[in-house]
Structure 1
């Protein structure tokens, strides 16, 4: 009995440690109020265009990843409020060679996750090539290689449906920047396996008159109706529309079911309808928060006269408004508060799930280890390099809270004309750069405005440092400002440079992480050892 108790407590401790509750990985933000309610957003992080399904007793979410690799994050939850990231479905963007360099705003746009015939499916678009499909029996493990299901420049936002009669369909939208048309939705049939779409496309809705920029369809079937949930009116200014028909090819009726109204939750855009095992209906959508990206909200949903009503319908007109705080979904029990990881001790020989590169990665960029650090090498700048917007080897993670302090310990072994730094990355970016010049180390704040326009960096407050072991820190305030500081002894931190206003990237929120680089190629570049990065709440 005593051994059983020891084993039981060991398992509990192991479980809690796996849920980001240890002292070195505190939860920066969590929506669970610990009193049976939650407060939106459920994820204060850039999980753009979220889609969610229920399989067994678990919910699975994926989201757009654009040029960031690995792509198509897979998150898991038992209660729709507490989420953890369990892996990625896409190791590389394809074509591999094209995405070996940064392709800001390209790559994986709004995906759709489904479960059919014991397989998890993700359909995702690359607006320059068409609609791809990948699948897996275990979402935490390896996924199949992408299959191009429907080729076409500008085809986006796919959503499949396996109907009760065995027929298979694919609905989608159009990106005006590639297709030259937008504000319409279409549908076609597919083969039973869902690997090839047919050329029998049918118009579902022309939204030019009163549903401008309608996109992001999600196709469902309930009772005798086919439903298509689709946002319209623009990412930060629009609303949620639902279409319904008893024939999948239409004609479809339409109804606005969710809008910002008198709330401060703009959009509300894109998302997924899910049910709990107890029969409750919920809707997940995102809100565009600028530099913080597209953060994820959860709204209650109910049905009236075969139409969904999402959020709070105070005037009973069938159009809801987003709720800020509400009771948690009824899933039969309470689950621990968890959130995706931020801090990293770099103590295990495994790539942390919070980290992504800005392009398909190469083995010489960096390596995890069991030696207590992550090795990041000083990679030669690309031939077309103007600023960090051209750097593929940015080692970054999403910002996961509106305010925090991040501190990192780095030991450097760089050579002359090599540099590294702690970066706040976006279209505007800033970082603490350490550079070796004539055998001496200098620290500066670097700022670049409108990096996507190939502008030059500005160097501010250059100071010589003596230690090869340095602590870099950035404080992010509620109003989106970044304040950098550094220390050579982990006790006395010196503020350096100017206050920086964080800014989003191309279709993604601002990110935080590292860069290590050099001018030109040599056969043995310098490197840094990232000992740890620790985030703390303000």
Structure 2
């Protein structure tokens, strides 16, 4: 089959937030923010910048572990940078409550080192290293989170030890956005050396309505001059900014960036990039492209990060993340297929947003239907398991053990700020404690819930639920098993044949 001559944006149509990319040989590797989910720092691979697969994660658990024993959706791993130096991959990121961290590995699939704190402090975000091959010097630039530090709209630069483990000075503000008329919320810097200049590609103006800027200076500590190199103009791509510049082996330049799309999170676009009078020009003369000629790279089979899962041997695929650091025994491996989740006891069993033992993946950015089969083996009254759409508000459909021992099909939801969920539709019995669950997600992230308990598929009588994001994070699809507080075990639930299909 002949590969198409063009591609269509977004190339990653889900919440791969704050992407950065690096090329090593013929391989392109991308990482993204993961905030409080574990494992963190997803690792994606491509040979053509259009088709991407998820190959792993660089961070198994967030540290300090006790801090992330419960969901912290707006904390943890903020915008990372990925680089290749001295035959190793390096990822730097900022935890706004702790400081700048780093991990490294000899190959993209690892093994990755444990997190190393390069610079401690509140509000340190969006770090990016640079090893200058011309001089042997190393540098680091980072932005600031006003919520933690009271400082924002400026970039701070440091000299860095070449081993990437420490900084050699106290740092200096090298770009002050307050001194640039009309600029605000300057963040997300990516540092490069090109054509005798130090380059910082950094967005400003906020994720909803901002733009991508380029800064250049002959010396790392400035002074820098700037231009806007990508903005919405007359397109429907709001706030096109924060991403990574990569050059192919043949010398073509490309830029991957995100677009904030509400409940769908930050989807990733690919822009052509050229140089004019010493400055980069992104997209179509500074406007995002919707369709464009593919990069001049060998044709590749169509590919996308995995979503479907049969859970062979009780193991879940790398597309899944817990909403906090996982605990022992939440998922049990066994000899058959199917994900066996323990009905973990919790005082928060009636608010999924507070549960750390929810297994999640990203909500696709186009209309789709998510479907899973579940069997509830939990014998404790109140034991439950289901399929959810999670955000500031959430809704789920699934099974619950009643006080009389029967299993019921239930559909529940909770509004933003609500302390407990409420019934959303008709409750019916589920013979054999089994059900097929379905969520159809239409345009605008409008979700319709359906089920089959053996007497033919039905849609619930509840209202259509509109998915909502969390702070910084798009809505998530989730599988869970839970039970009220109490002594002893509460049993398990087994999920089989999880699928996401286009609508």
TM range (shorter): over 0.9
TM alignment of 1:95-106, pairs within 5 A: 95-106=64-75
**Number of residue pairs matched?**
497
1:422 aligns with 2:394: no
Q: Deviations over 1:405-448 (max 9, x none)?
A: 11111122011221111101111110013211120112221111
Q: Give SS of 1:97's match.
A: helix
In the TM superposition, 1:229-268 aligns within 5 A as 229-268=201-240
Aligned to 1:321: 287
**1:182 aligns with one of 121, 135, 152:** 152
TM-score where L is the length of structure 2: 0.96
Which residue is 2:136 aligned to?
A: 166
Within the alignment, does 1:482 sit opposite 2:451 as a pair? no
In structure 1, the residue matched to 2:119 is: 150
Whole-angstrom CA distance in 2 between matches of 1:117 and 1:280: 24
Q: Distance in 2 between matches of 1:474 and 1:354?
A: 18
Q: Is the 8 A contact 1:378 1:516 kept in 2?
A: yes
Pairwise CA distance, 1:348: 4.3
Q: Which residue of 2 aligns with 1:36?
A: 5
Structure 1 residue aligned with 2:367 = 403
Contact 1:413 1:528 in 2 (8 A): yes
Is 1:192 matched with 2:156? Answer: no
Distance 1:490 1:168, change over 3 A: farther
Structure 1: gaps (5+ residues)? 1-31, 314-319
* Aligned residues of 1:476 and 1:483 also touching (Cα < 8 A): yes
Contact 1:380-1:521 at 8 Å conserved across structures? yes
* CA offset digits 1:329-375 (Å, max 9, x no partner): 011x2100000111111124543011000000012211344411111
How far the C-alpha of 1:472 sits from its partner, in A, is 0.7
Paired position in structure 2 for 1:5: none
Tell me, in whole angstroms, the C-alpha distance in 2 between the residues paired with 1:327 and 1:400: 24
1:75-86 matches, within 5 Å, as 75-86=44-55
1:217 and 2:189 matched: yes
1:108 aligns with 2:77: yes
Aligned to 1:366: 331
Q: Secondary structure at the match of 2:288?
A: coil
Contact residue 102 and residue 392 of structure 1 kept, 8 A: yes
Q: Distance in 2 between matches of 1:168 and 1:490?
A: 66
1:471 and 1:490 in contact (8 A); partners too: no
2:233 is paired with a residue whose SS is: coil
Task: Provide the rounded CA distance (Å) in 2 between the counterparts of 1:230 and 1:335.
Answer: 31
Among residues 429, 440, 443, which one is paired with 2:409 in the alignment? 443
Deviation of 1:454 after TM superposition, in Å, equals 4.6
In the TM superposition, 1:230-379 aligns within 5 A as 230-313=202-285, 320-331=286-297, 333-348=298-313, 350-379=315-344
Instruction: Look up the match of 2:42.
Output: 73
Secondary structure of 1:479's counterpart equals: helix
Q: Partner of 2:352 in structure 1?
A: 388
User: Contact 1:346–1:368 at 8 Å: present in 2 too?
Assistant: no
> Which residue number in structure 1 is paired with residue 30 of structure 2?
61
Measured after TM superposition, the shift of residue 479 of structure 1 is 2.5
Q: Distance in 1 between matches of 2:461 and 2:112?
A: 45
Superposition deviation, residue 456 in structure 1: 2.2
Distance 1:358 1:33, change over 3 A: farther
TM-score, L = length of structure 1:
0.90
Find the counterpart in structure 1 of residue 420 from structure 2.
456
1:52 to 8, 21, 40: 21
TM-superposed deviation, 1:33: 10
Matches of 2:486 and 2:154, distance apart in 1: 49
- State how far apart, in whole Å, the 1-side matches of 2:317 and 2:22 are: 25
1:521 Cα shift? 3.6
**Which is worse superposed, 432-441 or 240-249?**
432-441
Secondary structure of 2:72's aligned partner: coil
**Which stretch of structure 1 is more off in the superposition, 182-191 or 504-513?**
504-513
Shift of 1:199: 3.1
